[in-house]
Amino acid sequence: MTASTIVRLTVTLDDVKPPVQRRVEVPLTIRLDRLHLVFQAALGGSTTAPSACV
């Protein structure tokens, strides 16, 4: 595995109809604070709503 390894993640919003899913590709070594920003950008969210990674 190299530092340039890319992973594909599927992000799903709970309790939303119709279901909302996004696929994002990020470096395996991404920091959690930056991954949070990727999730927000992919889902059009703001920093005020609570979120959880499961």
Q: Could you report the per-residue pLDDT of 5-53, keeping only the tens digit for each?
A: 999 999 998 898 998 999 999 999 999 999 999 999 998 876 555 556 5
Return the residue matching tokens 């909302």: 20
Range of the domain at 14: 6-43
Task: Establish if 49 belongs to a structural domain.
Answer: no
Position 45 scores a pLDDT of 73
* Position 20 in a domain: yes
**What pTM was computed for the model?**
0.69
Cβ count near 16 (within 10 Å)? 10
Burial degree of 19 (CB within 10 A; 0-12, 13-18, 19+)? exposed
What is the DSSP track for 1-54? --TT-EEEEEEEETT-SS-EEEEEEEETT--HHHHHHHHHHHHT--SSS-----
pLDDT of residue 23: 96
Total number of domains constituting the chain: 1
